[in-house]
Structure 1
Amino acid sequence: MIQNDLPAIFRDYNPIENKMLQVIDNEGHVVDQDRMPALDDETIIEAYKQMLFERTADEMAVSYQRQGRMYTYTPNLGQEAIHIAAGMNIRDDDWLVPSFRELGTLLSKGVSPKEMFLFYLGNEQGGSFKHRPRVLPMSISIGTQLHHAVGIGYSIRYQKKDNAVFTFVGDGGTSEGDFSEALNFAGVWKAPVVFTIQNNQYAISVPVNVQTSSVNLAVKSVAFGLPGIKVDGNDFFAMYLAYKTATEYARSGKGAVLIEAFTYRRGAHTTSDDPSKYRKKEEETLWGLNDPLLRLKRYMEVKGVWNLDEEKLRETYKSQIDAQFVEAEKAKAYPLGDVFDYMYTDMPDELKRQKAEYEQFLSWKENRR
């Protein structure tokens, strides 16, 4: 990586200096006009609508889970600006390699809410994304998806194409060996991968300062020869600019990029988690003032382009989302073999035992009706 060959924002926001790219403040005022992306009003309004759709779907998913209609769910509240900014920079022929907290990006890539609900209903059909090519299943195992992203990126470079790969990991995932290995291979191979660390301050209950002594997480790019940048993850415009610049860099054949999206997980880690056990209400309230939807809305109001009936929009979205959930609820059971038959050529005894135990459970469940 040659420093002079980097895009301007990567030179100006060197992660070693712990600077953070920001375009608008909490009140919606532009603080860096030179960095404002050239987006027309219609595009900005569309971005807000997509963020609102993600938030509505996310809130309803939590509600479905609390009603006992869906299994454990991973909330996305507070991280919508990252997801939609990424989604607006992903082409149809690009690859999306998600972790498990990128609802808006998956929706932007064309995955349906029904497919997302199927996943959280424990239905194998929910991870296949059959109608949306170049989207890998969500990865619950922390960091393992990063190797897949780099492998895809290597194939793109080998074939001399201009596609990009978008992949995500949480702040906790940066402590996994998979993270370092993936960045190392991406640097060596100049794989066109845009890595995003969603630094939402907590790896379940472990705060970032307990996890690393690095000045930030973007600085982890330096050891592997990659451009890295720390970005205000609740600022849609900053995230959009970072993704646009990073994607252009990756497509040009120069290699991978690491983005640290500095944000906050306002909900629980999952619906099985109780964040009150490890963080204070005052902290949550303070970060609530940094809400990405509120900031973008205030910008639109300041600029005079706010013309949305948000309450009506929400009701429309709720109706659409609920219809998708009901479809998922009524979906036929998947073939049992989908879970067990494709791991090994010859199924080992332990897996046979698990399959028999599960068949026994299903039989018991059916007899209870």
Structure 2
Amino acid sequence: MAKDKFEMFQVLDENGKIVNKDEMPDLSDDELQDLMYRMVYTRILDQRAVSLGRQGRLGFYAPVAGQEASMIGSHYALDKEDWIAPGYRDIPQLIWHGYPLWQSYLFSKGHFKGGQIPEGLNALVPQIIIGAQVVQTAGVALGLKKKKKDQIVITYTGDGGASQGDFYEGMNFAGAFEVPAVFVVQNNQYAISVPQDKQTAADTIAQKAVAAGIEGVQVDGMDALAVYAATKKARKDALDGKPTLIETVCYRYGPHSLSGDDPTRYRSSEEDGEWEKQDPLVRLRTYLEGKDLWSEEKENEIVEQAKADVKAAMKEAENTPRQKVSDLIEIMGNELPNNLQEQLEEYRAKESN
């Protein structure tokens, strides 16, 4: 499959200039400001999470800086009633969908309360198994179709996830049963340390949609307007039983996770520098400033608000009672089998001493 059949879709270039007027999304000035607000807020959440992780106050955390346009741009195109099936890096989309910030910190810590999705929030717990959320998405989407719901399911994985069997199985099922699903692969260039050209011989990830008989599109993942426009169209098509695979070409500025990964061992400073020129926040900021819709003062207010929210959420998370082994056994089912009931009583006795 020739790469030119999947040309990268772009609306806003790295200089903040509109290069595709025909595809400019129909967003009001207030919506454009809100989109930028969410991206700035997310960048601060990420910076604070990295800092908290290095202080030993969080558990597992996967940095998101550089992927804000991909994450927030796609989520902004959704309806509140749509479902999200996230991977472990996709906490920002969950938060903007209604997942409390303090719970996201408990999820990072491995606390069971972090995985208790609030009632009424249409989302699955972030998936740790690479690519498993793609199969889950196909199943949830089939359920929505059978119930004739006016909702879609969107899922996210990285370029590494596109090398998993679950990725192909989920898309194949979605295509065969014409379910309302959108599959987003955030191609941040590396599956931990393995570059894309070592993962697949395909020129693009988008073209992998062909085998599933669904639409595939490659989008500039550093361009929030392009990601929004592509996802908006994909959502509309999904409601008509036409799933879409969206590849967002982006870059993670930080390590794969805070669990020992050192990106300087497999990425050059020159490569980092080239991608920093495409920073999604700088790009959208430049565009909005040109329309007199953004200012340094406005951004500083958002930064301070995000820092205050992080402080309050972290306090709530750290004030949550530490989980006990008995807690984990208790929530394994409504009715525990005899062996687990015995273990529950054993651990309750130990914990009471």
Normalization by structure 2: what TM-score? 0.92
Q: Does 1:155 align with 2:143?
A: yes
Structure-1 residue corresponding to 2:254? 267
Greater CA drift, 290-299 or 101-110: 101-110
SS of the residue aligned with 2:7?
Answer: coil
Structure 1 position 43, deviation (Å):
0.6
Structure 1 position 350, deviation (Å):
11
Structure-1 residue corresponding to 2:187? 199
Structure 1 position 336, deviation (Å):
2.9
Measured against aligned partners, the alpha-carbon deviations of 1:107-164 in whole angstroms (never above 9, x if no partner) come to 2101121111111122111111224521110111101111111111001111222210
> How far apart in 2 are the matches of 1:83 and 1:167?
11
Paired AA for residue 244 in structure 2: V
Structure-2 residue corresponding to 1:5? none
Structure 1 position 105, deviation (Å):
1.0
Equivalent pairs counted in the alignment come to 350
Paired AA for residue 110 in structure 1: G
Structure-1 residue corresponding to 2:319? 330
Tell me if structure 2 keeps the 8 A contact 1:16–1:219.
Answer: no
SS of the residue aligned with 2:179?
Answer: coil
Q: 1:121 aligns with which of 109, 118, 133?
A: 109
SS of the residue aligned with 2:58?
Answer: coil
Paired AA for residue 67 in structure 1: Q
Paired AA for residue 105 in structure 2: F
Tell me if structure 2 keeps the 8 A contact 1:15–1:229.
Answer: no
Structure-2 residue corresponding to 1:38? 26
Paired AA for residue 220 in structure 2: D
Q: 2:53 aligns with which of 65, 78, 90?
A: 65
Q: 1:299 aligns with which of 274, 287, 301?
A: 287
Q: Does 1:317 align with 2:312?
A: no
Q: 1:131 to 1:63 in 2, by over 3 A?
A: farther
> How far apart in 2 are the matches of 1:255 and 1:152?
15
Tell me if structure 1 keeps the 8 A contact 2:78–2:232.
Answer: no
Structure-1 residue corresponding to 2:16? 28
Paired AA for residue 37 in structure 2: K
Q: Does 1:212 align with 2:203?
A: no
Structure-1 residue corresponding to 2:62? 74
Structure-2 residue corresponding to 1:3? none
SS of the residue aligned with 1:261?
Answer: strand
SS of the residue aligned with 1:116?
Answer: helix
SS of the residue aligned with 1:195?
Answer: strand
> How far apart in 2 are the matches of 1:358 and 1:72?
26
Q: 1:43 to 1:337 in 2, by over 3 A?
A: same
Structure 1 position 308, deviation (Å):
5.0
Structure 1 position 304, deviation (Å):
2.6
> How far apart in 1 are the matches of 2:161 and 2:315?
34
Q: 1:344 to 1:28 in 2, by over 3 A?
A: same
Q: 1:105 aligns with which of 93, 108, 113?
A: 93
Q: 1:328 to 1:186 in 2, by over 3 A?
A: same
> How far apart in 2 are the matches of 1:270 and 1:335?
26
> How far apart in 2 are the matches of 1:197 and 1:86?
11
What stretches of structure 1 of length at least 5 have no aligned partner? 1-13, 365-369
Tell me if structure 2 keeps the 8 A contact 1:85–1:240.
Answer: yes
Q: 1:84 to 1:132 in 2, by over 3 A?
A: farther
Q: 1:18 aligns with which of 3, 6, 29?
A: 6
Tell me if structure 2 keeps the 8 A contact 1:15–1:230.
Answer: no
Paired AA for residue 243 in structure 1: T
Greater CA drift, 114-123 or 310-319: 310-319
Q: CA RMSD, aligned part only?
A: 2.7
> How far apart in 2 are the matches of 1:30 and 1:358?
62
Structure 1 position 334, deviation (Å):
3.4
Structure-2 residue corresponding to 1:53? 41
Tell me if structure 2 keeps the 8 A contact 1:201–1:208.
Answer: yes
Structure 1 position 281, deviation (Å):
1.3
What stretches of structure 2 of length at least 5 have no aligned partner? none
Q: 1:135 aligns with which of 106, 123, 129?
A: 123
The aligned runs of 1:243-282 (5 Å cut-off) are 243-252=231-240, 254-272=241-259, 273-282=261-270
Paired AA for residue 336 in structure 1: V
> How far apart in 2 are the matches of 1:270 and 1:351?
34
> How far apart in 2 are the matches of 1:175 and 1:356?
44
What percentage of residue pairs aligned between the two structures are identical?
A: 38
Tell me if structure 2 keeps the 8 A contact 1:85–1:236.
Answer: yes
Tell me if structure 1 keeps the 8 A contact 2:138–2:170.
Answer: yes
Structure 1 position 46, deviation (Å):
0.6
